[in-house]
Chain A
Amino acid sequence: MRTVQSAWVIAGNDLRRRLRNRTAILMGVVTPLVMAALIGVAFGGGFSFSARIALVDLDRSAISTGITDGLVAGTPADAPLSYVRLADADAARRELSAGTVDAVLIMPAGFGASVAAIATGGEPQSLEVVIDANKRIAGDVTSSIADGISARIRASVLAISTAIAAAQPPPDAATTARIIQEGQQVTVPIALEQVDVSGRYSAVAYFGASMGILFLFFTVGAGARSLITERKEGTLTRVRAAPLTDASVLLGKSIGVVTLGLASMVTIWLVTSVVFRASWGNPVAVLGVIIATVLAIAGIATLVTGVAKTDAQADGYTAVLAFGLALLGGSFQQAGSLPGIFQTLALLTPNGWALRAFTQIGAGGADLRDVLPSVLVLLSIAVVTTVVGMRGLRAKVAQ
């Protein structure tokens, strides 16, 4: 029988049994939702997150002035982000060290000219973002703003290039300069998109994700441990007596575990979005981070199951890991609000990386490309733990 077909049969059986067991639904969906709702209410429905970003305009061109004016003027008084103009980069760095600002966005001298030159084949200068390692969320949000500015400039340049190319006959230098100048005016509203972050940063969304991740250890862990249980109860013997390889059995179990984890997280995402109107942000990015997170935790569950000698031992390891990593990773308190050392420790955990990515998406309007580093870290955790764990599992299956 084909390896993959057998694996799907095994996965289907596992899923049917898990979904029939109300404990799995309770642990995988209901409990995280209830906890997220309770903690979300305790936080008043949203975080008291705020960041003060220093804007340093070393260029003082029409473009750079337009950007800074747009950011400052376009930000409502009650928005979580506020801006302060500073004269030079050194002063901004001192303010950052003193903690009076949370991040710095620098527009270097010649920035406007380089942007204007793109249409005629020039290279743009980079925006510079200076962040405090202990204020990662503010840093992430500032980086997202810089990315947004770049994206808008690229769009404007494309419009300018198209206008020049479409002009018949080809424009003279004066006309080209006029088109570019008109195009530069288009870049001014850049900031309006960036300041609209307050309504999307919901505590229910954050704790929906954090509690979902915490309980993934138990739902996904239980799925992985079913291999030990089935070995003890004898059904694994009968499964392995069928004309299939051990690889099919392990693949089937893995498909079941990952599907269950995905179903759990996606349900939490949908319910918090629909019932609590909590926006998690860009759906593609959210789905990407959910997949990477589930794979990472499935890998850890595989490792635990591979190492543990009994299912009771695996339960013990899972509980310690789940709550230990949740505490360190910011599952009970938003990581950005923790002291610096804890923000660093959070990045030793899959929870920390996942929540960082979810926060970037929800609070900073990041897309999948922006959270790619977090996704890659989570996938690396998944690969390493799965490879090591599978060695133990293979031995267990063949015993």
Chain B
Amino acid sequence: MTDQAAPAVATGGPDGVPPPVLTCRGLTKSYGERQVVDDVTFEIARGETYGLLGPNGAGKTTTISMLCGLLARDGGEVVIAGRTLDAAHPEAKAAIGLVPQDIALYPDLTARENLAFFGRLQGMRKAQLTQRIGAVLEIIGLADRADERIDSYSGGMKRRCNIGAGLLHEPDLLILDEPTVGVDPQSRNAILESIEVLGGQGLSVLYTTHYMEEADRLCDRVGIIDEGRLIAEGTRRELIDRVGEHAHIRLSGTGPLDDLAAAARAMARVSSATTLPDGIELLVTNASQALVPVVEAAERAGVTITSVDVVEPDLESVFLHLTGKALRD
């Protein structure tokens, strides 16, 4: 039985500009009454690292699942490397290398066996597969332990192999779904470094995270997603410019923090106030003028302040500015 070829769309853009490696338009998904992805539209250019930033439950994984053909979409269109993705034409998926959030490897097989299996599923021939397995094992630094079972690996080695399986078939677009969740700082840094290297080599990357600093470090452009909607998109500078003159104050302390946040919200210069486990986070229009009444309010509320940090606007500030809540909420 032969699968029919997926319908191809435009393969070259106007003015010699290469077409985007990924285009998704109007993606929607609901479960019953609950809309989990609502009209999400964005593009990723060739060689670009695009970050999808949002808190847990914002719809990042659902969006990725639809982009990879793992989940049927209620509406919208996905075009990957010039091919439209739909259930009847899975060939478009060959252009994607997915690195799931969890370690998606067979623990009872060796790294080489895992890579060989996933490579064969991609339709790779023996000679090409052997060559690519060797190359990927070198990239992820596991060449000398390739014939050991995955369940004998450390957590960091498993993470590297998990990424390697996504790179094996030389995809046009590497999609990483929160690859650093639950990872120790050392391994996390190694993962981020390897993604920087891959991005530097011209690979297009879609990176989802709820860590602002990761998006800040890795991504050429960032889409901010919340409650299923893409609420802002642009380069880091473009997004921060949206915050305007706003400053970001982190006030650490103990006591009735909710009361203090409520009092702060009523102040003219405070755009938003969010309670954190060890303090409150404020977005204000003028830090020096806003700080005094906040400190006075803390005193009245009985909050003991232990530190005050005024930070330059960052993606966290942008998220706070746009949604009125912290990324960690």
Task: Answer yes or no: A9 CB below 8 A from chain B CBs.
Answer: yes
**Cβ-defined contact, A1 with B104, below 8 A:** no
Q: B268: which A residues are within 8 A, CB to CB?
A: none
Q: A239: which B residues are within 8 A, CB to CB?
A: 118, 121
Q: How far is the CA of A189 from the CA of B258 in the complex (A)?
A: 102
Contact of A1 among B70, B100, B103, B121 (CB under 8 A): B121
Q: Which of A108-116, A242-250, A328-336, A347-355 contacts B (4 or more CB under 8 A)?
A: A242-250
Given A241-B70, A243-B92, A234 and B103 touching (CB < 8 A)? yes
* Nearest residue, chain A, Cβ from B93: A243
Question: Which residues of chain A in 346-366 are interfacial with respect to chain B, using CB atoms and an 8 Å cutoff?
Answer: none
* Nearest residue, chain B, Cβ from A18: B108
Task: Answer yes or no: A235 CB below 8 A from chain B CBs.
Answer: yes
**Cβ-defined contact, A20 with B104, below 8 A:** no
Q: How far is the CA of A234 from the CA of B108 in the complex (A)?
A: 14
Interface-central residue, A2, A233, A237, by most chain B CB under 10 Å: A237
**Cβ-defined contact, B108 with A2, below 8 A:** no
| A1-44 interface code vs B (CB 8 A; 1 in, 0 out) | 11111100110010011001100000000000000000000000
**Cβ-defined contact, A237 with B121, below 8 A:** no
Contact of A237 among B70, B107, B113 (CB under 8 A): B70
Task: Answer yes or no: B284 CB below 8 A from chain A CBs.
Answer: no
* Nearest residue, chain A, Cβ from B94: A243
| B91-103 interface code vs A (CB 8 A; 1 in, 0 out) | 1111010101111
Contact of A238 among B69, B92, B100, B120 (CB under 8 A): B100
Task: Answer yes or no: B122 CB below 8 A from chain A CBs.
Answer: yes
Given A1-B121, A398-B71, A243 and B91 touching (CB < 8 A)? yes
Q: How far is the CA of A241 from the CA of B94 in the complex (A)?
A: 8
**Cβ-defined contact, B108 with A242, below 8 A:** no
Question: Which residues of chain A in 240-263 are interfacial with respect to chain B, using CB atoms and an 8 Å cutoff?
Answer: 240-245
Closest CB-CB distance, B109 to chain A, in whole Å? 7
Q: Interface SS of chain B: helix, strand, loop or mixed?
A: loop
Given A20-B108, A234-B102, A398-B71, A245 and B90 touching (CB < 8 A)? yes
| B161-174 interface code vs A (CB 8 A; 1 in, 0 out) | 00001000000000
Task: Answer yes or no: B87 CB below 8 A from chain A CBs.
Answer: yes
Task: Answer yes or no: B3 CB below 8 A from chain A CBs.
Answer: yes
Task: Answer yes or no: B105 CB below 8 A from chain A CBs.
Answer: yes
Closest CB-CB distance, B193 to chain A, in whole Å? 23
**Cβ-defined contact, A2 with B90, below 8 A:** no
Given A13-B117, A237-B98, A242 and B106 touching (CB < 8 A)? no
Q: B107: which A residues are within 8 A, CB to CB?
A: 233
Q: B123: which A residues are within 8 A, CB to CB?
A: 1, 5, 243
Closest CB-CB distance, B116 to chain A, in whole Å? 9
Given A1-B3, A21-B108, A234 and B100 touching (CB < 8 A)? yes
Contact of A4 among B1, B87, B105, B108 (CB under 8 A): B1
Question: Which residues of chain B in 102-152 are interfacial with respect to chain A, using CB atoms and an 8 Å cutoff?
Answer: 102-109, 113, 117-118, 120-123
**Cβ-defined contact, B122 with A233, below 8 A:** no
Closest CB-CB distance, B87 to chain A, in whole Å? 7
Contact of A241 among B69, B103, B108 (CB under 8 A): B69
Given A2-B1, A9-B121, A244 and B90 touching (CB < 8 A)? yes
Given A21-B108, A398-B71, A241 and B96 touching (CB < 8 A)? yes
**Cβ-defined contact, A241 with B72, below 8 A:** no
Q: How far is the CA of A264 from the CA of B145 in the complex (A)?
A: 34
**Cβ-defined contact, A242 with B100, below 8 A:** no
**Cβ-defined contact, A241 with B1, below 8 A:** no
Task: Answer yes or no: B264 CB below 8 A from chain A CBs.
Answer: no
Q: How far is the CA of A234 from the CA of B104 in the complex (A)?
A: 5
**Cβ-defined contact, A243 with B120, below 8 A:** no
Closest CB-CB distance, A61 to chain B, in whole Å? 60
Q: A238: which B residues are within 8 A, CB to CB?
A: 98, 100, 104-105, 118, 165
Q: B94: which A residues are within 8 A, CB to CB?
A: 1, 242-243
Interface-central residue, A13, A233, A241, by most chain B CB under 10 Å: A241
Given A4-B1, A17-B108, A240 and B117 touching (CB < 8 A)? no
Task: Answer yes or no: B2 CB below 8 A from chain A CBs.
Answer: yes
Given A2-B2, A17-B109, A237 and B87 touching (CB < 8 A)? no
Task: Answer yes or no: B68 CB below 8 A from chain A CBs.
Answer: yes
12 contacts between A and B (CB under 8 A): A1-B121, A2-B3, A10-B121, A13-B117, A17-B106, A234-B100, A237-B100, A238-B98, A241-B68, A242-B94, A243-B93, A245-B90
Q: What 10 pairs across the A-B complex have the smallest Cβ distances?
A: A242-B121, A234-B104, A238-B104, A1-B123, A234-B102, A241-B98, A243-B94, A243-B93, A9-B120, A243-B90
Contacts A240-B68, A244-B90, A245-B3 known; list 10 others, CB within 8 Å: A2-B2, A2-B3, A9-B117, A234-B100, A234-B102, A237-B98, A238-B105, A241-B68, A241-B98, A243-B90
